[in-house]
Chain A
């Protein structure tokens, strides 16, 4: 006889919240595990409870959506087993391993929705580890969660829609934005326009940010290449190049990023099948239109399974919950089926739009070629681009896990979450392969570092071999 366990949702961002709402609506009481202290995810991260600044001031245009998502969660909070401040550090068939306030515990599941979100995709440049250099996401968290800017004169660098959104949010909050430097060109954006029309309101918002920044005198520069940060103890200037040559721009902080990277470790530990996604230039877990992974009972939603943005995450979270319900004996009624079809249509539109974004803000294909040998790629283990190249030539490594084994790239505290994308690019480039061919780092527990547990000595030890 099996005991029924409630469905589990990992992540309390837009996808997780809409999933919870849909499950509660059908009378279920899901468990919701989230690493953050308050719900909202990264995109709608809430400030600490005593915080005074309004959402309007923190999110700008997005505050309406943030309100809606936050209120959706507030509305079901009494019917959700909500576990904030809780890291899922391992996932196996039938249970998750949790870490909360320094203690581990185990949570059983039979159906699981993973909405694990994303972090910045990092393509390093010289000086990226200096004090004063942040990722775009980090810069946004500083603003949303702590109400502070990363510097008094900030440059934003990289590519992707987040670049302009965060510049706008910083400028709106009163920060001095010295420049927005985009590796994409105006020609890229023009070429992308037809696909971006799939979501005219979002396109309009993007154009609004650009116009607003321009109107407020913020320098916007396309077709750039980041060279280095100047300054010894901290950031004093950024050196960048374009077709006209090198330029030096005084600043005390840099926010940089190249779109986002899905957090896929849990899906990997759960045994989900992955495929290489050309748009993302990354291996992503497979899922059907409803969010079913290759493993029965495991559903995937939101940016953790492919970057589609916050609105699409809401739709995917709700759609995955409907799939879970129908697989769980709660056959969808006619309005449920209509809703599911509408969500799928919206997601298809979001996917077309996403293709346009990739055209508008393309991956800087020459990055690996141009990365200097002295560039630190893996900051945890201090592995440089030159180390990677030398390892490839001395060992013949052609696969990413092998490269990791030989030179420690991705072997430190972050387990490759920050450096694997860049390392894969360099490996592919210097071994004459496509990024798809170099593979991906194997997911290994713990997903993030966990403390040794404070345990009383055990009395008897099992007799085993010693190595």
Chain B
């Protein structure tokens, strides 16, 4: 017997974007169902590095990121837990004069977005952060950026949405999707059929399938960032760290474990990924260079996840170009955790008002209109 439901908005994917969209839609009084194939926040939203960082994002993302910064400030009020969120400061390290020049140029370009970036020279760096490796010659410091625990925060958004009245269905894949010109019909096997005026595509690395179903394929590929965690160590890293040009990043959780990331893992099937030994070795080597104190530590666990990347490394956020009522929010290229809650609010505005109060023109799916004829997406 098929369960039939009618809601204002059906959301595919219970990650941080889908869950925060559900929470925002409930705040507007709309009825919502989230269809999550696995468990909410169990994929990229829950296994990412946990950076809550504005610094370093392309300018196009800074309005969204700024909005998200405000939401993170109200996290406990929103989701009921602190999620180990700390405004620890974020330091982007320079290892060359060219890096410094690039950081300085970014500081100037992004000056209007309230990040309060400060350039730090070698002397201050050594004095304030003596635990940094010798290759760091300076950096750019963002005092209010920080980090949080994604495996706590992302599922808590889903629970908050459920408490607010969203109908959250886990282990509930959206197998069939139709649009009759007025209304979407989404089916999960023969168990569930939900009809809705709006459909939100928040399916993360698997969102390309949904978009293609409605005739707007995007050239998205999956990739698998690798993270590793040490045993708990005495607190020494007061900051969340990145490196200009990328390659490695690190933070220390309140429990004392250092979480470091970089390199790429591989897929073992459509849903799961793991770090290979070369990726683990790479992360370990690079992090010792950045943080010599780790030389005598051990890593106790390494992992990866599955994340969607578009060629320009910008997400797709906005109305479908083919199907009225379809709204996309995916493709965050490994950097969706911080802006996710703001994207959720924007998607809810698009449903209610048709427009967003935060500029999102750069993320329109129409920029891939030429890709509509693409074959099914492959590996990275």
A97: chain B residues at CB < 8 Å are 277
Asked if B249 and A446 make an inter-chain contact with CB atoms under 8 angstroms apart, the answer reads: no
A106 at the interface (CB under 8 A from B): yes
A370 at the interface (CB under 8 A from B): no
Q: Which of A445-467 contact B (CB under 8 A)?
A: 445-446, 449-455, 457-458, 461-467
Q: Which of B224-263 contact A (CB under 8 A)?
A: 225, 231-232, 242-243, 245-249, 255, 261-263
Complex partner residue of A452 from B53, B263, B287, CB under 8 angstroms: B287
**DSSP majority for the A interface?**
loop
B56 at the interface (CB under 8 A from A): yes
B-to-A contact residues, CB < 8 Å: 39, 42, 46, 48-51, 53, 56, 92, 133, 135, 151-152, 155, 159, 225, 231-232, 242-243, 245-249, 255, 261-264, 268, 274-277, 280-281, 284-289, 294-303, 313, 333-335, 337
Asked if A90 and B277 make an inter-chain contact with CB atoms under 8 angstroms apart, the answer reads: yes
Asked if A444 and B298 make an inter-chain contact with CB atoms under 8 angstroms apart, the answer reads: no
Asked if A455 and B299 make an inter-chain contact with CB atoms under 8 angstroms apart, the answer reads: no
A399 at the interface (CB under 8 A from B): yes
Asked if A466 and B298 make an inter-chain contact with CB atoms under 8 angstroms apart, the answer reads: no
Asked if B246 and A465 make an inter-chain contact with CB atoms under 8 angstroms apart, the answer reads: yes
B255: chain A residues at CB < 8 Å are 381, 408
Smallest CB–CB gap between A185 and chain B, Å? Answer: 40
Q: Given contacts A445-B275, A462-B247, A465-B333, are A455 and B285 in contact (CB under 8 A)?
A: yes
What would 15 A/B residue contacts be, using CB atoms closer than 8 Å?
A97-B277, A406-B155, A449-B298, A451-B298, A452-B299, A455-B284, A457-B135, A461-B243, A461-B248, A462-B247, A463-B245, A463-B247, A466-B51, A466-B246, A466-B248
Q: A446-B280, A452-B298 are in contact. List 6 more A-B contacts (CB 8 A).
A: A446-B302, A452-B285, A452-B294, A466-B247, A467-B48, A467-B337
Asked if B48 and A451 make an inter-chain contact with CB atoms under 8 angstroms apart, the answer reads: no
Asked if B302 and A406 make an inter-chain contact with CB atoms under 8 angstroms apart, the answer reads: no
What 7 A-B pairs come out closest when comparing CB atoms? Answer: A449-B298, A467-B49, A461-B247, A405-B151, A466-B242, A455-B285, A464-B246
A415 at the interface (CB under 8 A from B): yes
B313: chain A residues at CB < 8 Å are 465
Interface string of A410-428 (1 = CB under 8 A from B): 0111010000000000000
A465 to B244, CA, bound (A): 10
Asked if B281 and A104 make an inter-chain contact with CB atoms under 8 angstroms apart, the answer reads: yes
A339 at the interface (CB under 8 A from B): no
Number of interface residues of A (CB under 8 A): 38
B48: chain A residues at CB < 8 Å are 467
- Of all chain B residues, which has the CB nearest A455? B285
B133: chain A residues at CB < 8 Å are 457
B51: chain A residues at CB < 8 Å are 466-467
A450 to B49, CA, bound (A): 20
Asked if A452 and B288 make an inter-chain contact with CB atoms under 8 angstroms apart, the answer reads: yes
Asked if A467 and B225 make an inter-chain contact with CB atoms under 8 angstroms apart, the answer reads: yes
Smallest CB–CB gap between B348 and chain A, Å? Answer: 24
A106: chain B residues at CB < 8 Å are 277
A457 to B287, CA, bound (A): 10
A271 at the interface (CB under 8 A from B): yes
Q: Given contacts A106-B277, A395-B155, A458-B289, are A467 and B247 in contact (CB under 8 A)?
A: no
Asked if A444 and B301 make an inter-chain contact with CB atoms under 8 angstroms apart, the answer reads: yes
Smallest CB–CB gap between A195 and chain B, Å? Answer: 39
Q: Given contacts A446-B302, A450-B299, are A455 and B246 in contact (CB under 8 A)?
A: no
Smallest CB–CB gap between A437 and chain B, Å? Answer: 13
Asked if B285 and A458 make an inter-chain contact with CB atoms under 8 angstroms apart, the answer reads: yes
A465: chain B residues at CB < 8 Å are 225, 246, 313, 333-335
A81 at the interface (CB under 8 A from B): no
Q: Given contacts A444-B301, A458-B285, A458-B289, are A413 and B231 in contact (CB under 8 A)?
A: yes
Smallest CB–CB gap between A440 and chain B, Å? Answer: 15
- Of all chain A residues, which has the CB nearest B261? A467
A402 at the interface (CB under 8 A from B): yes
A90: chain B residues at CB < 8 Å are 277, 280
A97 to B248, CA, bound (A): 22
Asked if B288 and A453 make an inter-chain contact with CB atoms under 8 angstroms apart, the answer reads: yes
B299: chain A residues at CB < 8 Å are 446, 449-450, 452
A466 to B142, CA, bound (A): 15
Complex partner residue of B334 from A271, A461, A467, CB under 8 angstroms: A467
A458 to B281, CA, bound (A): 12
B280: chain A residues at CB < 8 Å are 90, 445-446
Q: Given contacts A271-B268, A413-B231, A467-B334, are A453 and B245 in contact (CB under 8 A)?
A: no
A92 at the interface (CB under 8 A from B): yes
Q: Given contacts A452-B284, A467-B225, are A446 and B247 in contact (CB under 8 A)?
A: no
B337: chain A residues at CB < 8 Å are 467
Smallest CB–CB gap between A454 and chain B, Å? Answer: 7
A381 to B276, CA, bound (A): 26
A400 to B294, CA, bound (A): 30
Asked if B39 and A449 make an inter-chain contact with CB atoms under 8 angstroms apart, the answer reads: no
Asked if B231 and A412 make an inter-chain contact with CB atoms under 8 angstroms apart, the answer reads: yes
Q: Given contacts A271-B268, A467-B249, are A451 and B297 in contact (CB under 8 A)?
A: yes
B301: chain A residues at CB < 8 Å are 411, 415, 444-446
A446: chain B residues at CB < 8 Å are 280, 299-302
Asked if A464 and B247 make an inter-chain contact with CB atoms under 8 angstroms apart, the answer reads: yes
Asked if A399 and B39 make an inter-chain contact with CB atoms under 8 angstroms apart, the answer reads: yes
Asked if B275 and A452 make an inter-chain contact with CB atoms under 8 angstroms apart, the answer reads: no
**Residue with the highest number of chain B CB atoms closer than 10 Å, among A411, A451, A467:** A467
Asked if A453 and B281 make an inter-chain contact with CB atoms under 8 angstroms apart, the answer reads: yes
A467: chain B residues at CB < 8 Å are 48-51, 53, 225, 242, 249, 261, 334-335, 337
Smallest CB–CB gap between B249 and chain A, Å? Answer: 5
Smallest CB–CB gap between B262 and chain A, Å? Answer: 7
A229 to B235, CA, bound (A): 32
- Of all chain A residues, which has the CB nearest B263? A464
- Of all chain B residues, which has the CB nearest A464? B246
Smallest CB–CB gap between A186 and chain B, Å? Answer: 43
A450: chain B residues at CB < 8 Å are 298-299
A381 to B51, CA, bound (A): 23
Smallest CB–CB gap between B280 and chain A, Å? Answer: 7
Smallest CB–CB gap between A25 and chain B, Å? Answer: 33
